[in-house]
Every structure is written in C-alpha cells, then in structure tokens.
Amino acid sequence: MSEQLATVVAATPPRIIQLYCACNLGDHVYNFFLFYHIHDILCKENIIIEYRCNEQYHAQLREFIPSPERVRLVNYCGDHDKIGINMHIGSGDLRANLWTKTHPYFDKFYLEYYLDILEKMNIPKAIAAAVDNPPLFQYTDPELLIRYDFLPVECKDIDVLIINSSPRSGQYAHYGSDIEYWNYFAYRLMTEKNLKIITTEKYDSRIKCTTDYSLSVKSIGSLSTRAKVIISINTGPLSPCYNTYTLENVRKIYMFHSDHKHIHPKVVQPERLVDVDIDEVVELCRV
C-alpha cells in the first residue's frame, strides 16, 4: 500500500455495527465465536462492533475479544438499549430462531444463525467467505494454550471435567432432581476409579471445583483443552470448551439438554447421568 493510500485509509472513519443481546453468559460466548471468525475482515474493512450486554458479563467477555480495537462492550440496561441487531438466538427477527428451526441440532442451528447475522450486519466479504467456508461452531484462540500453563497445578491434567453449573434458562429439566447423583458420580470417579476430577459448581467440599481457584469461564475453556472426558449440562461454562484444541483432544463429551441435540461426532447425549456407564468413562480416560 502506498504512503498516500495508507494515509487516506487511516483517515477514513470506521464503520460501526451495533449489536445487542439481553441473555446469559453462554449466549454471549457463542456470539463471540462469530467475532473470532470475522476478525480479519473487521480489520481490513475498518469495522468496529459495539456489543451491548449486561455489565455483569463484561469482565468475562473481555477475555474473548479477539481485538479490543474491533469489538467494544457497551452496557445493556433495558429496552432502551435495544439498539442495532438483536443477537439472541430466540429473536423473531431471524429467518429461523431457536424455537422455529426445522431440526433439533443446536450446533447446526448456530451455523445457520451466524450466516443470518452476517447478512444483517451487511459485510459482503464476510458473507462471501462464510458461504465458501461456513463458520464452525467453535473458535480458535492460541491464548487458551498459553493460559493453560498458568493454571493452578490442581487444575491441570484433568481426566474428567464435570460442568454441573446451574442451567440459567431451564435447559435441563432433570437438574434439580439429579444433582445429588451428579455429585455421587463425581465422587465415585475420584475415589473408586482414581481419576482426577474437577467440577464447576461447588456441591461437595470433598470434590475439587473451579470456583475454589476463581477460574474465569475462559480459564475453564483452557482447562478443557487437556481434559479426556467432559460431562456437562448445556450451560454457560460449557461454551468455551467448544474450541479447536478441546474438540481435537477430548475423547467424548456427554452433554445433557432436555431438547437440543448436536451433530458433532464427539458429543453424545444421554437423557440422564444415570444412563452413563461409569466404566466407559474410566476406559475413555485410560485409552
């Protein structure tokens, strides 16, 4: 690029795209997958994303911003902040939303959702790139691997990551009735099967939990890159585990959701944890 052209580009004001989402942390992390996918185009086209969400999530979401020059967080306080494009998967503005989709697959739906949002954002180069190479329901962030090196030693080389955090949107109907069994299952893996276990919500003082070490959601994603098995309710702390490294390395993800399914071959969906053979989990960890 010539010096004169570079000066003109630098002087051109950026295009600002305003987005908002009034939902929970996991919804935002899944939305940020798209920002990873289009980051290079945002830079080349001099586009800035202004993303409105509840301020309680800002600290966690800053860790998922590919470039702070391209994605800005703005506080969402209520209906008067519904400015721009609604990035909620249940939005009636979508061609098909989470409730009207024509198939049961959660990850497949997100691929359709990303394309729909890109069209609403009106970034032709991003739309063309997505048509040729559809954005996957995952993200690639090398910082996850760097972050892993700085995790507490108690959070490294985990055999089974158990994401037992409360589902904030009622997405798993058996949570209340089954939570004691989840704890029992984790305790058996730890004591009878001698596996290294960690949970994400403290239920039993005998079992290690990510809250004991004040891990952020992204740090849970970093921890997951070396986990052999993930057993998870489909809730917020699972979202960062859909990264390239975890999906390559994990042997199986047992995901629990009352309605939605996944097409990813490593994700299986028993109805309840009692349906999972504990010896199968052990075998997966020892392969």
In order along its 287 residues, the chain shows pLDDT tens digits of: 445 544 545 568 999 999 999 999 999 999 999 999 999 999 999 999 999 999 999 999 999 999 999 999 999 998 888 999 999 999 999 998 988 998 989 999 999 999 999 999 999 888 888 878 878 899 999 999 999 999 999 999 999 999 999 887 778 888 889 999 999 999 999 999 999 999 999 999 999 999 999 999 999 999 999 999 999 999 999 999 999 999 999 999 999 988 878 999 999 999 999 999 999 999 999 98
Q: How far apart are CA 45 and CA 121, in angstroms?
A: 13
Of 132, 159, 191, which closes a domain? 132
> Which pTM does this prediction carry?
0.92
The confidence score (pLDDT) of residue 5 equals 44
Looking at residue 86, the DSSP 8-state letter turns out to be E
Domain holding 150, by residue range, is 143-286
Any idea which residue has 């993800």 for tokens? 253
Which structure tokens are listed for 57?
């999530």
- What is the Cα–Cα distance from 273 to 267, expressed in whole angstroms? 14
Would 2 be classed as within a structural domain?
A: no
Q: Judge whether 3 lies within some domain.
A: no
The pLDDT score that the predictor gives to residue 81 is 87
**Do 196 and 261 reside in the same domain of the chain?**
yes
List the beta bridge partners of residue 139: 243
CATH classification at residue 190: 3.40.50.2000
Q: CB–CB of 24/169 below 8 Å?
A: yes
Which three-class secondary structure state does DSSP give residue 102? coil
Task: Please report where in the chains the tokens 């997958």 appear, as a residue.
Answer: 33
Last residue of a domain, one of 132, 161, 184: 132
Residues 106 and 154 in one domain: no
Q: Report if residue 90 sits inside a domain.
A: yes
Same domain, 118 and 30: yes
Q: How many domains does the chain divide into?
A: 2
Same domain? For 250 and 152 the reply is yes
Are 122 and 150 in a shared domain? no
Assess whether 42 and 107 both reside in one domain: yes
Residue 4 lies inside a defined structural domain of this protein: no
**155 with 277, same domain?**
yes
